[in-house]
Structure 1
Amino acid sequence: MVAIADRNLSPIAITTEPIWRLSVTQYHSMITSGILTEEDQIELLEGVLIAKMPKNPQHRFSTGLLQDALLAILPANYHLNLQEPITLKDSEPEPDLTIVRGQRLDYRDRHPTASDLELVVEVSSSTLERDRTLKHRIYAGAGIATYWILNLEDRQLEVYTNPSESEYLHCQVFNEAESVSLNLRGQAIALISLGGLL
């Protein structure tokens, strides 16, 4: 396990041309009216429609293995979502995995919000820069307690905790020979071996 003090990352640049920012309500209206459909591979990030990257076999494989590992240890009062939307102040990202408090039935009429989430996970290869900057800022700003990046490029798990206004104040990095603790509401639930996930 290694702690990272300085990530030396710069924000992702957005065009200098005028753009029209959407509210989450406007985004939902576009979905309801059929302007946007499930075939449109986009997500709303800080009011801007951003294309989602295609998933390669390694991404699919590692996401599935992590899903299996989490499902095997998840307590009964939580559930796991796979690539489903979460509604935040000005964004509606679709993280690779989320651990959500309560039962699926609790969310029949709405997406989970930041206060419903225990963990957000992005599985990253081609999206690593976006996940370390834009998504990092969004999740920290929303107050999501724990954010994991399963970094396929560097074969490591980055665990971000202690969110502030726009960043996580603490980061630990685990390599594939280590195990990471899954903590829910501040309590350690189980250790997950990273061997094989990367």
Structure 2
Amino acid sequence: MTVQILRKKFTIGQYHQMIESGILTDRDHVELIQGEIIEKSPVDRHHAACVDRLTELLVLKLFRKALIRVQSPILLSDNSEPQPDLSILQRREDFYHAGHPTPNNIFALVEVSDSTIEFDRDVKVPIYAQEQIPEIWLVNLNNTQIERYHQPIANTYQHRQIFNLEETLNFQAFPDVPIEVHQIFR
């Protein structure tokens, strides 16, 4: 006998109602991924330090060129509102007070991964491709390298490149701004 498990999927509206009514609070470290409320992994010191280094580096290098948001929601569809570690966004005077950034506002996203590497690679990256996010960096803390995905098509990226400590890369939107990989991992 096969048992079929039914899952309740949520929309962005329902998710926000749970936040507004206090069902979900700041203590609930969750994000909405394809209609499911996913608990985020606790952030350890290595992950936090890498996010902080990247934030400082990108703010300095992209000052007045882009807005850097840290671990804040982006609105991808009616059923996905992930919170990437870093979002590199078009600048807006209201700093997105009127609403979370959408794919049209996003230059690139960065996910810092250690224990979540498979989830980020196998679940989040395809969602980002499906939503036409131009570029994703997966900072792989386990292997001390950056996986760069760009040129989305359907639910995948046409190009995936690996960058090691001694290499330099840049965001496609900012080809004149080199980022040395070793600066991210120090």
Verify same fold: TM over 0.5. Answer: yes
Question: Is 1:188 aligned with 2:169?
Answer: no
1:29 is matched with which residue: 17, 33, 37?
Answer: 17
- Runs of 4 or more, structure 1, over 4 Å off, are none
CA distance in 2, matches of 1:72, 1:171: 26
Shift of 1:174: 0.2
Q: Which residue of 2 aligns with 1:11?
A: none
Matches within 5 A, 1:129-148: 129-148=118-137
CA distance in 2, matches of 1:180, 1:77: 17
User: RMSD across aligned C-alpha pairs, in angstroms?
Assistant: 1.3
**Mean CA deviation greater in 39-48 or 106-115:** 106-115
CA distance in 2, matches of 1:178, 1:58: 21
Matches within 5 A, 1:1-198: 17-89=5-77, 90-103=79-92, 105-184=94-173, 187-198=174-185
Higher percent of residues as strand: 1
Shift of 1:132: 0.3
Flag structure 2 segments of 5+ consecutive residues without an equivalent: none
Matching residue's letter, 1:33: S
CA distance in 1, matches of 2:177, 2:118: 29
Matching residue's letter, 2:175: A
- Greater relative contact order, per chain length (Cα 8 Å cut-off, separation 6+): 1
TM-score by length of 1: 0.87
Aligned length: 181
Flag structure 1 segments of 5+ consecutive residues without an equivalent: 1-15
CA distance in 2, matches of 1:97, 1:189: 20
CA distance in 2, matches of 1:114, 1:50: 21
**Mean CA deviation greater in 47-56 or 66-75:** 66-75
CA distance in 2, matches of 1:50, 1:163: 24
Question: Identity over aligned residues, as a percent?
Answer: 35
